[in-house]
A and B are shown apart, each in its own frame.
Chain A
């Protein structure tokens, strides 16, 4: 039986899809057979970030509607043997997914994978609810700013009350906090919340801090999950987060302001 992980946030644009791609790829890199499922019906971003957008034939909605089998719809990653993507439909609207339909697909995926990573759409409405409903664990992606923290808090409330586990009285969803787009310089200047502030407000286990990084944009433009860029700060931070997700104790990095190196100073080195 697979572990179902949802990557969620409430607020949009905080880095859920970037995180789903990185964490899913990181799990596969460590030998776990993993599928990343795009729940953002109508937008379809995950396949771009994973670099498989030209190989999408069938999508999640096709499988839910019985127009294709899972085997037909799953896209195998070109780089990793045990990594797959289930793309979202670009042509349907978000009402195309139903609880029963999603349950059927989750069940089938659970039988064939070790990890199912669900990339949630933004918001707290139906799409986000479906993405988290069957989850065993949740990665709550938060940016260090008040509005994002509030939305994450709200999402944590829903995870605790509106998931299947909550409704059937099972063990609660295990919650992890992932702080992304962290910029220590702006924290020092008081323009952003610090790690401690966010941890104190949300009071759940911190699984990683991903720095604001040019490497993320570069990676997504190339269709390569940033975790595969192991020279980059963001890639290394995601890698640490995957280790922590798997139970390893790893010290947090990239929390402090870096002294600008000579080359960075020479080229202006923004971020």
Chain B
């Protein structure tokens, strides 16, 4: 029996919001020969990094040029050096067409990232303005977790709030469409409002998080640690695009 078989009773799939750290290779110039040569040098320095490493190939910083871009050849060079292209980042129409021809996903240029993460945010805000149907409001029960959430584990409260009454370890990830409450030490990642709810909030009894995010706007440990409320009981909400951390 394989790992997969052990999970047999589970539904066949689950959609999970996630913030993956993926390497982006931003091309400053279009030269396949130079890329090949310079990648080879990099590989020699860090051979472990370049082994089937997922990659976003960013073409949006390339200077305008008449020369036609051979995307397949670029990808082949990347692949030769252990980089596997998942998608391209592009704004130029010719580049987008080249990616479409190879059936490769296209991401918008950098800086537009937040907009990608919550495509439904605007809609969610507008809906309540329509005269609501007299039906009862959709009310998903709160998900309550009473045992520790360990590194490598992920908990998602779909359509509602998440309450954790135990410790959340570093390397663990909490996701909720609504609010997140953590009453044990919070050392992992918490992403509230993952479908774009800007009103979602995070409450922690002891802030030691690796990352906090509301509707795609986030702060990482490096910023959080500098906060005077690090280690304290806090309440986190969005003010504009910024996470606002206040004492509970």
Contacts and interface: CB of A to CB of B under 8 A. Distances in A.
A129 interface: yes
Contact of B153 (A100, A157, A172): A157
The 6 closest A-B pairs by CB, nearest first: A157-B150, A99-B1, A154-B151, A153-B151, A154-B152, A157-B153
B179 interface: no
Interface in A76-106: 98-100
Interface in B116-149: 147-149
Interface residues of A, number: 20
A200 B208 CA distance: 13
Interface string B163-186: 000110111100000000000010
B148 A203 contact: yes
Contacts of A172: 147
Contacts of A3: none
Interface of A: 98-100, 124, 126, 129, 150, 153-154, 156-158, 160-162, 167, 172, 200-201, 203
17 contacts: A98-B1, A99-B6, A100-B1, A150-B169, A153-B151, A153-B171, A154-B151, A154-B152, A154-B171, A157-B148, A157-B150, A157-B152, A157-B172, A158-B152, A160-B148, A201-B187, A203-B166
Given A154-B150, A154-B151, A161-B153, 13 more contacts: A98-B1, A99-B1, A150-B171, A153-B170, A156-B148, A157-B149, A157-B150, A162-B6, A172-B147, A200-B185, A201-B187, A203-B148, A203-B167
A contacts with B: majority SS:
helix
B169 A201 contact: yes
Nearest to B8: A167
B225 to A, nearest CB: 15
A157 B151 contact: yes
B3 interface: yes
A200 B184 CA distance: 11
Contacts of B149: 157
A16 B7 CA distance: 27
Given A150-B170, A201-B169, A203-B167, A156 B150 contact: yes
B195 to A, nearest CB: 25
Contacts of A150: 151, 169-171
A162 B149 CA distance: 14
A154 B150 CA distance: 6
Given A153-B150, A156-B148, A129 B3 contact: yes
A167 B9 CA distance: 10
Contacts of A160: 147-148, 150
A126 B166 CA distance: 28
A160 B167 CA distance: 14
Nearest to A204: B148
B208 to A, nearest CB: 10
A98 B2 CA distance: 8
A140 to B, nearest CB: 11
A93 B153 CA distance: 28
Which residue of A100, A153, A162 has the most chain B CB atoms within 10 A of its CB atom? A153
A160 B172 CA distance: 14
A150 B170 CA distance: 8
A100 to B, nearest CB: 7
A161 B65 CA distance: 54
A158 B1 CA distance: 17
Contacts of A201: 169, 187
A65 B132 CA distance: 65
A169 to B, nearest CB: 11
A200 B147 CA distance: 15
Nearest to A167: B6
Contacts of B185: 200
Contacts of B151: 150, 153-154, 157
Contact of A153 (B6, B147, B169): B169
Contacts of B147: 160, 172
Contacts of A100: 1
A160 B151 CA distance: 12
A171 to B, nearest CB: 13
A150 B169 CA distance: 8
A157 B152 CA distance: 7
Contacts of B187: 201
A138 to B, nearest CB: 13
Nearest to A126: B3
Contacts of A126: 3
Interface in B1-53: 1, 3, 6
